[in-house]
Structure formats: C-alpha cells, structure tokens
C-alpha cells in the first residue's frame, strides 16, 4: 500500500504554523509531580516490529512515547517508558475533534456551515463577526494564529520565561482579542488558533453549554475515550500526565489553554486516539462531513473541517499533527486501506515523519 508520505508533506506545509505556535508555549519549569521520566534505563515494551521502527527516532531515554497502528481491524502498540494509560497532550489534533463537532452540529440542525460566527458569539460589528463557521474550520477567515497585540505578545513571552502556560484566556478575553483583530482578506489560507477556538466556543454556545462539556457529551463519552479530557486549570491535569519537555529537553509546564482549548487543549492516551481513528475508519464517524466537505488547496490536497485531506492516487489519506510546549503528536488515517498510524511523544519535537514511516510498513 501507499505510505501517505505525500499527504504528510502537504499537511506539514499547510499546518507549518504549529512550530511557531509552540514557540509561544514553550516553558521552563514543571508543575509539581509531573517530572519527565528519568534519563536512564528506558523501558520499551509492546510490538517488536514497531519498537524496531521507532527506536532510531527515540534514542533519548528521557522521552516517553506511545505509538499504535491499525490494520485490518487489528491494533498493535509499542511504548517507551509509557503504557496504554499514560496521558499525552495531543495539541492541534484537538482541532479535528472540533471539526467533528461542527459536522454533528450541522447534522443536528443547530448550525449551518455558512452561519457567521457573530450569530453565536458576542463579537459586535467587528470584522471577525462576519466570518462563517466553514471558513473558520478551513483556516480561511483571515485571522492571525494568535493575537497580534504587542502587549499580549510581551505578556505571553514573560509567562513563558517564568515557566508558566502563556495562553489561558477566559471566553470574555478571547472575544475581546477577536474583536480587536483586523482580517487579512488577501490571505486564502492562514493557520489560526484563534479561529479554531472561536469555532469551538460558537458550537458550545449554539448547544447551550461549554466546550469541554460539549466534547464529552458528543464525542468522548459516546466513543468511549475514557482517558481523554480538556483540563482548563493545572489542578485538572490527570495524574497520568506524561510530563512534557521542550525541544531542548527542559521540563515544560502542562498545557491548559482556557478558552483556546478547542484549538489544542485535549489530553489523551494512545488508546483514546486508536478508538477515535477506528470510529473514523469503520464506526460512527465514518461518513462524517468533516472529511468529505473539503476545500481544495491544490496538488491533490484539501482541507475538511480542520482535517488535511490528500488524494494519494487510489488512497484518501487524512491527517493532523499536534505540538505543545512539551509534547508532539501525529495521526494519519488511510481511509481507503483501512489503516492508521498514531505517534505520541512527551517532547516538543515533530513526529510527523515517524507516523509516516509506520504507515508505510503496513
């Protein structure tokens, strides 16, 4: 079968802003009780072939890793200093969960794709109010990645230097930031965490609840993602949290994003992502519009509701990656072949190519 390399490459170009985002979130200290694994005697368990494939990429014993592949309905997993219950931050893979929530809300008749976000959130007559939900889900709203206010950038940088999470706005603060932003109308595609956050908050408002509750009610609980959560405060972080590290190996504070959670706030186990991928391959999400209602990006690539969708001749491959201040993640699903690869790591070093390698060997 095909490996999906082209799909991953296109995804990395389309979602390249993730590296910039992580630069704002990198931190210099670790919350109490969430230290990374000791840098000696890494415990490697699970499928022998997967361990052989990933070992060259994870030579540092301090890294905690969980990988999984799905083929023919069978699941194989491998771990380094982790197990099926270890919780990782999945970063912007959260966005495709938000995209699936959009698809369901449309199916329920709660919202329409061409509704304006200002119909659901208090954005007044600000330019952002007229951006549609579909545009937000395609990163086509003309919004920046994060607020452009110099004071906000300075504060986020200071928080980072002090070893704290740099993004923790409440909903009112997020809306105030959005109202202050001009739109780049010349930009056809611009990766935006702000846009993803607004979409998730708009869906929650349309359902009369908050984002964590909406996610739990419509995706996490029905699908059985029992290890997944959206912690908004440090004391909500799971005791099974893997403890993150920056790209340089320094401890990183757990990521809790407040109102920005719909853009990257899910913490989950590898089993949770296996269950999610299985639901997409041959389960309740198999026919979701989140991956069929696409906007062409050129070269056979498109974007669904945050999903990167690539027609790799004869194979429809969907994917998304994630990067926080202390974690990296990648999920690739070949919907045609019925295969998937998932890689989770507790260090902020991109793992896209590792997932591609695993998929190539199926």
pLDDT number for residue 164: 60
How far apart (Å, rounded) are the C-alpha atoms in residues 332 and 335? 9
CA dihedral 220, 333, 335, 266 (to 10 degrees): 20
Secondary structure, 3-state, 159-221: HHHCCCCCCCCCHHHHHHHHHHCCCCCCCCCCCCHHHHHHHHHHHHHHHCCCHHHHHHHHHHH
Q: Which residue has the tokens 């990395």?
A: 12
User: pLDDT (tens digit, 9 = 90+) per residue, 261-320?
Assistant: 999 999 999 999 999 999 999 999 999 999 999 999 877 789 999 999 998 778 899 999
Residues of the chain whose pLDDT is less than 50?
1-40, 161-163
Q: What is the DSSP letter of 236?
A: G
Range of the domain at 273: 5-108+216-360
- How far is Cα 300 from Cα 308, in angstroms, rounded to an integer? 11
Give dist(CA 159, CA 174) in Å, integer. 17
Q: Is residue 346 domain-resident?
A: yes
Between CA 58 and CA 79 the distance in angstroms is 11
On whether residue 241 sits in a domain, the answer given is yes
Domain-embedded: residue 260: yes
What stretch of H or E contains 318?
A: strand 315-323
Q: Kind of pairing, strands 339-345 and 328-334?
A: antiparallel
DSSP code string of 36-99: PPPSSS--EEE-HHHHHHHGGG---TT--EEEEEEETTEEEEEEES--TT-BEE-GGGHHHHHH
Could you tell me if residue 41 is inside a domain?
A: yes
Quick one: how far is CA 250 from the chain centroid?
22
Question: Could you tell me the pTM of the whole model?
Answer: 0.89
Contact 87, 324 (CB under 8 A): no
Residue 194 falls inside a structural domain: no
**The dihedral sign for the CA sequence 317, 322, 328, 329:** negative
Residue 209 belongs to some domain of the structure: no
Contact (Cβ atoms closer than 8 angstroms) between residue 51 and residue 78:
yes
CATH of the domain at 249: 3.40.710.10
Q: Is 188 among the domain residues?
A: no
Give me the number of domains the chain comprises.
1
Residue 223, in any domain of the structure? yes
Show Cβ contacts of residue 263 under 8 Å, excluding neighbours closer than 6 positions: 92, 94, 95, 98, 193, 194, 196, 197, 200, 257
Other beta carbons within 10 Å of 184:
13
Minimal CA–CA distance to 167: which of 306, 325, 37? Answer: 325
pLDDT of residue 32: 30
């Amino acid at each position: 079968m095909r490996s999906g390399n082209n799909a991953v490459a296109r995804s990395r170009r389309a979602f390249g802003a993730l590296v910039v985002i992580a630069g704002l979130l990198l931190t210099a200290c670790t919350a109490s009780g969430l230290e990374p694994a000791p840098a000696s005697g890494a415990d490697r368990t699970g499928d022998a072939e997967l361990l052989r494939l990933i070992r060259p990429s994870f030579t540092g014993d301090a890294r905690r890793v969980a990988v999984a592949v799905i083929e023919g309905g069978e699941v194989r997993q491998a771990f380094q200093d982790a197990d099926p219950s270890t919780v990782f931050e999945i970063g912007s893979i959260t966005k495709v969960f938000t995209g699936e929530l959009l698809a369901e809300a449309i199916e329920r008749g709660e919202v329409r794709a061409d509704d304006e976000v200002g119909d659901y959130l208090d954005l007044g007559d600000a330019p952002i109010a007229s951006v549609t939900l579909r545009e937000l889900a395609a990163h086509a709203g003309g919004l920046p990645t994060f607020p452009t206010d110099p004071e906000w950038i300075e504060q986020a940088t200071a928080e980072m230097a002090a070893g704290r999470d740099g993004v923790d706005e409440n909903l009112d603060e997020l809306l105030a930031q959005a109202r202050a932003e001009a739109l780049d109308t010349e930009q056809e595609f611009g990766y935006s965490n702000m846009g993803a956050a607004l979409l998730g908050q708009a869906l929650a408002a349309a359902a009369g609840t908050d984002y964590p509750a909406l996610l739990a009610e419509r995706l996490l609980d029905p699908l059985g993602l029992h290890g997944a959560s959206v912690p908004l405060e440090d004391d909500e972080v799971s005791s099974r949290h893997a403890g993150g590290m920056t790209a340089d190996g320094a401890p990183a504070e757990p990521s809790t994003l407040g109102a920005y959670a719909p853009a990257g706030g899910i913490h989950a186990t590898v089993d949770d992502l296996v269950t999610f991928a299985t639901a997409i391959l041959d389960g309740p999400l198999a026919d979701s519009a989140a991956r069929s209602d696409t906007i062409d990006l050129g070269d056979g690539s498109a974007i669904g509701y945050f999903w990167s969708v690539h027609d790799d001749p004869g194979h429809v491959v969907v994917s998304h990656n994630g990067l926080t201040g202390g974690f990296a993640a990648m999920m690739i699903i070949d919907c045609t072949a019925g295969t998937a690869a998932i890689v989770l790591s507790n260090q902020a070093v991109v793992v896209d190519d590792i997932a591609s390698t695993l998929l190539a060997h199926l």
